[in-house]
Chain A
Amino acid sequence: MMKDKFGKFPGTARKYIRPAGGNAILMLLPIVLFMLVFGISLIMRSSSEHTQSFHVHRQNVVTYLAEGALNIAMQHVAENLEKKYKKLLIENSLEVYNLKDKVPEIKSAVKFLIDAMPGAELTRLTMDFSDAVNFDKLQPDPNEKMGLLIFTCDVKYFEVSTTLKIVRDIKIVNITPPAEEFTLYTNTGNENNHIINSGPSIFCKNKDEENGERGSIRIASGDKGNEFYLGEKYGWADQSISPMPSPTRSEVYAKYGLFKPTQITDAISNLPKPIIGAFQSSLEIELSEFLVDPKAKNKKYSCIISINSPIVDLPKEVYGGIVYGSEDNKAKQAYGKGGLFGYPTLANIKSNKLYLPKKLYVQGLKKLYGKYTLSENMISIPVSFEPPKFVDVYIYHYGPKVAEKVVQPYSSADGSFSVSDGDGKIGIDGCAALKGSEYKKRAFYATEEINMNTMQLFAGGGSILINGVMFAKKIEVGAPKQAFVYNGRFVLASDGEMTINNNVSINEKLAAKIPSSLSLILHPKGASDANLAVTPLKYKARKITVSGETAIVLKIDASVFSYNSMEFVKDGNSGNINSGFTRLHISGNFAVNRLIKKDFSPWLFINYKKRVAEKDYGRYVVSMSPIYSAWYEEKRGAK
């Protein structure tokens, strides 16, 4: 007989018997186990979160350390590109440069980061110049190139490490101003006779007083062959510095400077020192009687009295009379700038003799008069109440030479500039400057429009600090109420339009530390020998009043290139005065492919400055892109 499920035989008495003991308790065990497992998993989860937060922290630590180290490195390189790395970059000898070990200041600066985060380790900080190519494949200047500067940094913090790379564009460009060996360079193709003293005045002081460099003057009229080549072969010579006559004006002195044809060298060099009398309210300068008798006929001479006036915006030079070897039978005043003081007599003219005024004096320190044998006040120019500190007397000679096709089309002597187009022809438009597209290639910053606000992006130390080329279709230099003050060595180039709104000057405070030069270049698209009438460079002058005298003045401490002359634009600053009364001062050099004097028509003063040094690749600047070209980070060890 089979037992039933209770272990009994069927038919036997059944009683309720509880199943095996402890089941109810056992039922709780899974709950306990579940709680245990759940609790442990909670622990694991929260622990892992906690661990993760540490990893995230460590990742951030290495990133910030690497970023900080790269910032230090990039700052160092930016500050020392010119001094330390330019040569290496130009000569392609940089290789992989170990900044951490080779540059002590970087090493000490980075040490701070490592000390701030104990456990951190900087294993690598390098830079590398790669992918260098020349701008111009057909006529390359081998020193001009562009490439990538790659900064790499490896940082380790406990088990987490990172490699951070930052790529910056590098351009090495030639910033030599167009026609830099010329104070004034014109290349007008079909314009006729440009006579320096006809129409509005052009005055060129073709010696850079700071370094003694001289710039030639070239006024070319192309096919006609009337080229005037001034001042190229004659130098300045300081003849004397007088003892100071007055204890109250002890800084005043005078000197002779001259362009000297060999015929008059001896005569001038034997001149006695000028005598200066400085009194309470007047200044007298007595020059010696000066007579030259040049052998060569048809030479022209001019005398300039230069007063180093403290008035900033007024010309420092007072122009003397020009006595020239005319056969006219009338005594005449020769034309010059600002007036005359020499008074040639018929006899002197006929005998080709030149006299200088014997005595100049200033009354009330307001007016300067030239006085010769006649008691006539022949010139009158404003000077300040402050006495002048220097009085320079320059005698220069100029005259038409046998027309020389000196440089036509232009290319500078050392070949550092070339004009190239798609065909690879040099100087195709007979122009001293590169085409706009060439500047665009070389620019570290190229855009549609550059104005004062844009340039403030590159401000450093309160002034514009730029190295390299900036290019735009439209450029506004300065603002109507704000001068453009700069430091750095750079070129502002446009192929569209350019307007100079205000004075352009170098921040002198920083200039001692930061070599500074600027070239303003307008080379419009489509400009060529066949198409000269392209947009001229526009400028606005400022109306200023000093000691009751009004003048409209614009000062440009830069070299200027304009394909098609310059054009005066009236605005609120200039008042209702036309360009004929303006004075444009350029401290640098002025190259203009087509000089239209009657349209241009300010008084133009060019004070030659050669700011680009020859040695140590001084013609080249290295510019680093202001923003990262690429940024790459690889982290390791974070789990």
Chain B
Amino acid sequence: MMMKTPPLTAYKIRVPLHAAAEGSGKKGNTLAFVLIFLTILSFLMVPIINIFTYSSMTAVKSKNALIALNLALQTIEEIKSKPFDDVVSMLPSDRKPFEGDWIDDASGSVKYPEYYKMFRKNIEVKTDKDFSPANKKIKRIVVTVFWDELNDERRRLTHAIKLATCISAE
């Protein structure tokens, strides 16, 4: 019994590009496909790249927020660690950047990293004259750390982190 062999023409012949280049006669079809693919891919990549950009921006934001928070903590703790009478009143006028000596003691000095220049602090210390007016034993402290960041629309925005407390002579 003879096996029925399907006619050759019944097969859709596809050849690789190099085969086409060698004269398969099926030019263009695959290239178009590639172009379509690239187009689709580029469409797909746009949000993905955006995702990465956004992620990177968020990482920078959180890094900045944490640095600002730690700088605020450091500043408020520095004030708290001073003897009560040495904590002098200050108005929240200047926003001094964090630069210069960070640590300066017998073991040597450590400068603030260059990156920290973008952070500025505002310290407000006020004696509470309403509370125990005769003794003036309460001082109000507000520490604010500011920094600038680009937002999603590439516009510069100023952010701030604030801590407030009171210290007493007691």
Contact = CB atoms under 8 A, between A and B. Distances in A.
Interface of A: 1, 9, 12-13, 15-18, 21-22, 25, 28, 32, 35-36, 39-40, 42-43, 45-47, 49-50, 52-54, 56-57, 60-61, 64-65, 67-69, 71-72, 74-76, 78-79, 105-106, 108-109, 112-113, 116-117, 460, 513
Given A9-B5, A109-B131, A78 B170 contact: yes
Given A49-B59, A74-B170, A75-B168, A36 B51 contact: yes
Interface in B73-127: 73, 76
Contacts of A78: 170
A102 B120 CA distance: 40
B142 A116 contact: yes
Contacts of B16: 18
A17 B11 contact: yes
B169 to A, nearest CB: 7
Nearest to A78: B170
A32 B40 CA distance: 11
Given A13-B8, A15-B11, A49-B66, 7 more contacts: A15-B13, A17-B14, A39-B52, A39-B55, A46-B55, A71-B138, A112-B140
Given A18-B16, A21-B14, A71-B168, A76 B3 contact: no
A322 to B, nearest CB: 50
Contacts of A32: 41, 44-45, 48
A47 B167 CA distance: 35
Interface string B146-167: 0000000000000001111111
Contacts of A9: 3, 5
Contact of B164 (A43, A53, A64, A76): A64
A137 to B, nearest CB: 32
A74 B138 CA distance: 10
Contact of B59 (A46, A60, A106): A46
A43 B51 contact: yes
B3 A71 contact: no
B135 to A, nearest CB: 7
A57 B69 contact: yes
A75 B168 CA distance: 6
Interface residues on B, range: 35 or more
Contacts of B63: 49
8 contacts: A15-B13, A32-B44, A36-B48, A43-B55, A56-B69, A68-B166, A112-B164, A113-B166
A22 B14 CA distance: 12
A507 to B, nearest CB: 15
B69 A109 contact: no
Interface in B47-72: 47-48, 51-52, 54-56, 58-59, 61-63, 65-66, 69, 72
Contact of B130 (A25, A65, A108): A108
B9 interface: no
Which of A13, A45, A116 has the most chain B CB atoms inside 10 A of its CB? A116
Contact of A64 (B56, B58, B76, B131): B76
A25 B137 CA distance: 75
Given A71-B166, A105-B132, A53 B62 contact: yes
Contact of A42 (B52, B165, B166): B52
A25 B62 contact: no
B79 to A, nearest CB: 11
B48 A35 contact: yes
Nearest to B80: A67
A39 B164 contact: no
A45 B165 CA distance: 32
A441 B26 CA distance: 106
A128 B163 CA distance: 28
B3 A1 contact: yes
Contacts of B37: 25, 28
Contacts of A113: 140, 164-166
A117 B14 contact: no
B41 A72 contact: no
A74 B84 CA distance: 15
A57 B55 contact: no
B5 A12 contact: yes
A39 B48 contact: yes
A53 B165 contact: no
A109 B137 contact: no
B134 interface: yes
Contacts of B52: 39, 42
B15 interface: yes
Contacts of B66: 49, 53, 56
Contacts of B162: 61, 116-117
B61 A50 contact: yes
Interface in B1-29: 3, 5, 8, 11, 13-16, 19
Given A15-B13, A49-B62, A60 B163 contact: yes
Contacts of A79: 132, 135, 137, 170
A106 to B, nearest CB: 8
A388 to B, nearest CB: 36
A513 B45 CA distance: 78
